[in-house]
Amino acid sequence: MTATLIWILVALVAIGLYLSWTAGRLDRLHARIDAARAALDAQLLRRASVAQELATSGVLDPAASIVLYEAAHAARQAEEEQREVAESELTQALRAVFADAHQVDAVREVPGGEEAALELAEAVRRVPMARRFHNDAVRAARALRRHRKVRWFRLAGHAPFPLAFEMDDEPPAALIERAA
Amino acid sequence: MRIGIVCPYSWDVPGGVQFHIRDLAEYFIRLGHQVSVLAPADDDTPLPPYVVSAGRAVPVPYNGSVARLNFGFLSAARVRRWLHEGSFDVVHIHEPTSPSLGLLTCWAAEGPIVATFHTSNPRSRAMIAAYSILQAALEKISARIAVSEYARRTLVEHLGGDAVVIPNGVDVDFFARAEPRPEWQGDTIGFIGRIDEPRKGLPVLMKALPKILAARPRTRLLVAGRGDEEEAVESLPRELRPRVEFLGMVSDEDKARFLRSVDLYVAPNTGGESFGIILVEAMSAGAPVLASDLDAFAQVLDGGAAGELFANEDADALAEAAVRLLADPERRAELRKRGSAHVRRFDWSTVGADILSVYETVTAGAAAVAADDRATGLRARLGLARD
């Protein structure tokens, strides 16, 4: 009788430890998503700032300047729900403006243009990186949260179900080629 | 930045991953970063100052062959001590799925972890069985890097998630500046790789050789690499055997001079390649490349624009392409030019900067790497449980 009780106790403790470990895993994943999201925000903001700076610097022709300024401004001001669309539109605007390698050369020729082009190339390269890392973390967390043990014991607490950040982040080829 | 790099394979055994880590560490040190590499090594091997030994790797049968791995209590303790003493901003693990130092570090560390997946092995039985254990360790990795689009695809299929593609790096100028050796020039075909490893494809090349020699009798095949030379030429008719020269293992310098000298570099590999660093080295040295059309090779050669491709394992196709190229100096000059331009993206200056961007992306706003007390500290967990 006591032996049975002891075994039940041992089993309960083991299950408790396992659940606490799983909760720890989940907690760590949520922290990873937060960090990845902060990094993604930082890279998106950086890209929009560099684009806006370029648009107002007078290096580009007026039409391109206006297109780029509009897109960068919209991306920075976008509400959370419109963010993905606005950032994708900035990507498309950058691709349209820098579709031609000559445009990149023109930017580089003006004083200070070299740094600006480098900064922009850096920014458009890091956005897809940060987005992949973020979505990878989201995927891992969702996989764990769908598990029975997490749902039954409500190990995720009140943390919102993580969402991937979907956008068009294909950088302008001419810009990347030059930087490489 | 304080960077910790984990090498899963013995430092004293030469290999692609080890060379990659050595070059990467030296690149970061030149830029002024603090780098420490944790690698398995025998106690008496001389190590560069930036390498910390994790003890001797133990040979065990794993995944169909004998692998030299580090595991167990002692290795885990060493990993924890290294993490503790290094207080790194970022830890970069190579091959995190091999049951060795990489996996141990995943368990023991907490904070920004970057991992590079080099191989694109088909999923092994052990990996399926250990999937949940592996997943718990792998989900700590904040950023995954795959060495090619092909490696990324296998990674996504087997483990889910996503990765950025950053190719392996090569010191392009080291190869571009090497002096050609006259005795290796003039109608020469080059091959570098293990002779007795069929996946490196020497048998395919041997099968194609009679046809090549029939069309161009002055051609010589130069083979650099370890293995049984007698066995390698067994399939050749006796009178053709003198057209094959074996150079044995060559040093890095000789490898560069070899690739500078040959008229055509052939990579007939039949599989198991996730990247193809040798093609990048050949292109750096300005050698026209003819390679089998493996996914990884096609990608490195820019879909055939920077080097020619032939149907994998098809000796006739190989012979036909080799004869055509050897007879056409203009096409070879064009390939040289395209290869040299294409290869710049694999130079350490580009690859290193990309890897550094990954580090900066994951460390932005995150705390430094620390030993993770939750994962292994049972006492700590019990302490928490009592609270």
- Summarised one tens digit per residue, pLDDT across range A8-43 is 999 999 999 999 988 888 988 998 999 999 999 999
The Cα of A171 is separated from the nearest Cα of chain B by a number of Å equal to: 14
pLDDT band at B238 (very low <50, low <70, confident <90, very high): confident
* B-chain residues near A36 (CB < 8 A): 142, 362
- Choose the closest CB to A20 out of B140, B354, B385: B385
Tokens of A11: 């089993």
pLDDT at residue B63 tops 70: no
pLDDT at residue B198 tops 70: yes
* A-chain residues near B385 (CB < 8 A): 16-17, 20
pLDDT at residue B318 tops 90: yes
- Edge-to-edge strand ranges of the sheet holding B244-248: B244-248, B220-224, B188-192, B264-267, B289-292, B308-310
pLDDT band at B190 (very low <50, low <70, confident <90, very high): very high
Predicted ipTM? 0.84
Q: What is the pLDDT of residue B249?
A: 87
Q: What is the pLDDT of residue B227?
A: 85
- Summarised one tens digit per residue, pLDDT across range A37-67 is 999 999 999 999 999 998 988 888 888 899 9
Q: What is the pLDDT of residue B64?
A: 60
Q: What is the pLDDT of residue B208?
A: 93
- Summarised one tens digit per residue, pLDDT across range A92-102 is 999 999 888 88
A133 has a chain B CB within 8 A of its CB: yes
pLDDT band at B354 (very low <50, low <70, confident <90, very high): very high
The Cα of B384 is separated from the nearest Cα of chain A by a number of Å equal to: 10
pTM (predicted TM-score)? 0.84
Q: For chain B, where are the alpha helices, taking DSSP H only?
A: 16-30, 73-86, 101-108, 125-129, 131-138, 149-159, 172-176, 202-215, 229-232, 252-261, 277-284, 295-300, 315-326, 329-342, 348-363, 373-376, 378-386
Percent of chain A with pLDDT over 70: 98
Average pLDDT rounded to a whole number, residues A128-138: 93
Average pLDDT rounded to a whole number, residues A158-175: 87
Q: What is the pLDDT of residue B376?
A: 46
Q: What is the pLDDT of residue B17?
A: 86
Distances from the Cα of A167 to the Cα of A34, A52, A71, A73, A89, angstroms: 18, 19, 14, 17, 9
Q: Which of B186-204 are b and which e, b meaning 16 or more Cβ less than 10 Å from the residue's Cβ?
A: eebbbbbbebeeeebbbbb
pLDDT band at B191 (very low <50, low <70, confident <90, very high): very high
* A-chain residues near B144 (CB < 8 A): 133, 136
- Choose the closest CB to B144 out of A25, A28, A136: A136
Q: What is the pLDDT of residue A173?
A: 83
pLDDT at residue B327 tops 60: yes
The Cα of B143 is separated from the nearest Cα of chain A by a number of Å equal to: 5
* B-chain residues near A135 (CB < 8 A): 162
Q: What is the pLDDT of residue B272?
A: 76
pLDDT band at B246 (very low <50, low <70, confident <90, very high): very high
Q: Find which of B139, B159, B343, B357 to mutate to test the A interface (most A CBs within 10 Å of its CB).
A: B139
Do B122 and B150 contact (CB within 8 A), yes or no? no
- Choose the closest CB to A36 out of B135, B142, B360: B142
- Summarised one tens digit per residue, pLDDT across range B94-135 is 988 877 888 889 888 888 999 998 876 656 666 667 777 788
